[in-house]
């Protein structure tokens, strides 16, 4: 069977070109969207993510402000910085790169970000808005996946969608977006009995597990759409997904590659949310 390659890199590139134009128009009216990126400690993977987010911002003309705090930063200091950024008019979006060091309370930090600047959409206020179907900001990874599916002209309504993973940042909001798009949704996790047979019912299978190539052709129904969220490193340093691409590709109707699938879409949606936040904050200057 021939399959559609859901090319996130290509779509993200097209979206960025459109965003660049939008930001230029905003700048002509004296408004430049701003994203504050806060990183605490020296996690090398977080450093890579922060650098790429800054690069993306520069590409579309968004101003980025980096706050690199040392590992020993206290909770009070971090919360103090967030308070300052909440009040700063040049900052439209605030992102605290996760994970943060263990001595800091992640939930408390997320709750401190103003929901109006919460471009990751992790604040319980935004989670609630998503739940009732009126999201201000949609969480970047699931929202990026929906864009990728729509861009390929694939139908979601009425489909059986199985999401593997129930994290707050991927699995749960993914299931919610699929539900709002009229899919019939099943959420699986590490305690799911007979994962294979549940997955085999899926017209759309989303793997957000964090286990290298766990999903083989035995889990996939003929003609399914397979979305691989996984970003794992083998001991040799190779980047792998949660899906064994080579094994499943002849069976699927569409599939995302790793790299170049979901990852670039996550990054593009952060820019979308930042521009949206700016439009909300500075509507009077832009009208």
Encoded one letter per residue, x for contact with ligand NAP by CB under 6 A and - for no contact, window 155-184 reads ---------xxxx-xxx-------------
Residue 151 exposed, middle or buried by CB count within 10 Å (0-12, 13-18, 19+): middle
Encoded one letter per residue, x for contact with ligand NAP by CB under 6 A and - for no contact, window 41-80 reads ----------------------------------------
Q: Name the residue nearer to ligand NAP (CB basis): 50 or 188.
A: 188
Q: Catalytic positions, please?
A: 53, 97, 120
Beta strand segments in the chain, E = 4-5, 34-40, 63-69, 93-96, 160-164, 184-188, 204-207, 225-228, 232-233, 239-240, 254-255
**188 near ligand NAP, rule: CB under 6 A:** yes
Whether 160 contacts 203, CB under 8 Å = yes
What whole-number distance in Å separates Cα of residue 269 and Cα of residue 120? Answer: 9
Q: Name the residue nearer to ligand NAP (CB basis): 90 or 190.
A: 190
How many amino acids of this chain bind ligand NAP (CB under 6 A)? 25
Contacts of 287 (CB under 8 A, 6+ apart): none
Tokens representing 269? Answer: 């949606």
CB of 245 to ligand NAP, least distance (A): 14
**230 near ligand NAP, rule: CB under 6 A:** yes
Near ligand NAP by CB under 6 A, which window of 23-31, 131-139, 209-217, 246-254? 209-217
CB of 46 to ligand NAP, least distance (A): 12
Provide the CA 213 distance to its chain's centre, in angstroms. 20
Instruction: By CB under 6 A, name the binding residues for ligand NAP.
Output: 141, 164-167, 169-171, 188-192, 195, 208-211, 229-232, 262-263, 266
């Amino acid at each position: 069977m021939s399959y559609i390659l859901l090319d996130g890199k290509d779509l993200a590139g097209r979206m960025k070109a459109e965003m660049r134009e939008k930001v230029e128009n905003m700048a002509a009216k004296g408004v430049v969207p701003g994203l504050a990126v806060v990183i605490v400690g020296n996690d090398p993977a977080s450093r890579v993510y922060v650098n790429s987010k800054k690069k993306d911002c520069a590409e579309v003309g968004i101003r980025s402000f980096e706050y690199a705090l040392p590992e020993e930063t206290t909770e009070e200091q971090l919360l103090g910085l967030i308070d300052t950024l909440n009040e700063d008019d040049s900052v439209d979006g605030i992102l605290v790169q996760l994970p943060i060091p263990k001595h800091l309370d992640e939930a408390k930090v997320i709750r401190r970000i103003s929901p109006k600047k919460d471009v990751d959409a992790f604040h319980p206020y935004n989670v609630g808005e998503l739940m009732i179907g009126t999201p201000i900001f949609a969480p970047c990874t699931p929202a990026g996946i929906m864009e990728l599916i729509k861009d390929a002209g694939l139908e979601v309504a009425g489909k059986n969608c199985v999401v593997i993973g129930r994290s707050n940042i991927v699995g749960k909001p993914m299931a919610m977006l699929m539900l709002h798009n009229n899919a019939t949704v099943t959420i699986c996790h590490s305690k799911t009995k007979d994962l294979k047979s549940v997955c085999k019912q899926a017209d759309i299978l989303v793997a957000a597990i964090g286990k290298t190539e766990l999903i083989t052709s035995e889990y996939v129904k003929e003609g399914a759409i397979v979305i691989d969220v996984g970003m794992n490193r083998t001991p040799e340093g190779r980047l792998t997904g949660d899906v064994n691409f080579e094994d499943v590709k002849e069976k699927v109707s569409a599939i995302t590659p790793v790299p170049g699938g979901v990852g670039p879409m996550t990054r593009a949606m952060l820019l979308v949310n930042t521009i949206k936040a700016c439009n909300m904050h500075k509507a009077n200057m832009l009208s």
